Structure 1
Amino acid sequence: MSLTTQFYTMLAMIAMGSIFGASLDTYNRFLQRGKRKKWIVFINDVMFWLIQGLAIFYILFLVNYGEIRFYIFIALVCGFAAYQALMKNIYVKLLEAIINAVISIYQFILRLFMSLIFHPIKWIVLAIITLSITLGKVLLSLVKMIIKMLLWVLKVIFYPIKWILSLLWKLVPGFIKKSVEKFYSGFAGILEKTKNKVMYAWKFISSIFYKK
């Protein structure tokens, strides 16, 4: 390995040590260990260290084709120490500022959406539903009133007819009355039998498709 390659390797590993420090602070800021369960923290820690190791090895592979030397670890420690001493406070403040800015923008967009889109649509939908229910009640009342009026009119119209028919029925000979009554009884019996068969068929079909 040439001196130039070794120098680039040192610089890359110092940079990766600093990046590792920033990544660790970012990871701890978002993880919030005190609020997480232990198994979740464990899984996240394993994933974090695995990703960091792969990233460092990838940079090392780009610089010197993955050759590992003792000074590489020293460079990583130096980069991490330099970050802790010189850049940590600045980075943490910058990270908090970015997080707060993102939260503020998100809350502003959410309030804007709620004010300009969600609430107007909600009130319009509620107004339409209320108006529909009110119109439905009014129409139902009108229909009931019309039906009552029609029944009253029909009752008035058919009352004389019923009275005339009752008088005519009294004038009908007895043997005709008996024949009509017999026919009516037979017809009623047929209707009853048909009704029973239909009900039996419906119960049979229901027992097939529905379990008790």
Structure 2
Amino acid sequence: MTEGVHLSLCVLQRECISIHVGQAGVQIGNACWELYCLEHGIHPNGHMEDLKAAMANNDESFNTFFSETSMGKHVPRAVYVDLEPSVVDEVRTGPYRQLFHPEQLISGKEDAANNYARGHYTVGKEIVDLVLDRIRKMADQCTGLQGFLVFHSFGGRTGSGFSSLLMERLSVDYGKKSKLEFAVYPAPQRLPNAQVKQCGRLASVATELQD
């Protein structure tokens, strides 16, 4: 491969940043990143099984979802966030704990108590700037950021209230970038406090349709 062709491939590199919000988003993220690692031959510690072979075959597709450190470790272009710590703590202590940088795993000290307003207007606002700062740092490392993949639930806690707040802010900061949502919509009969949660889901859907 000539230097000019290699340079062109670098310029054409496309990256996506994944954002996993709330219990549902984090648990979906755990399954996704385990699969991504298996597909690209990346160990739970972030090191690739056969990087030289991948480079020889011009297979740099892993760069869409992973960034590579100077030590050869592949780190997900992802942020995990929940307003309470228990679910994110499972990632911090789980089998893929070495895959993520500690700054990528963000948790507050209290949840939204199944209340959309707390996730959007009070508890969520205390943490949203930190989340956006982590996202900005990842975006600055990208050469061709295409957009964001947002995983969350329309349930009445972090997944609805905080997700809609985050989408509003992303639309302001990255208006021209694509934002794809992968959302779980729970069945009302399977949830406690259904009336409160239904109001939260409706508010979340209305807010995100505006974005």
The bucket for the TM-score relative to the shorter chain is under 0.3
Task: Tell me the TM-score normalised to structure 2 length.
Answer: 0.22
Task: Tell me the TM-score normalised to structure 1 length.
Answer: 0.22
More helix, by proportion: 1
Over alpha carbons, which structure has the higher Rg? 1
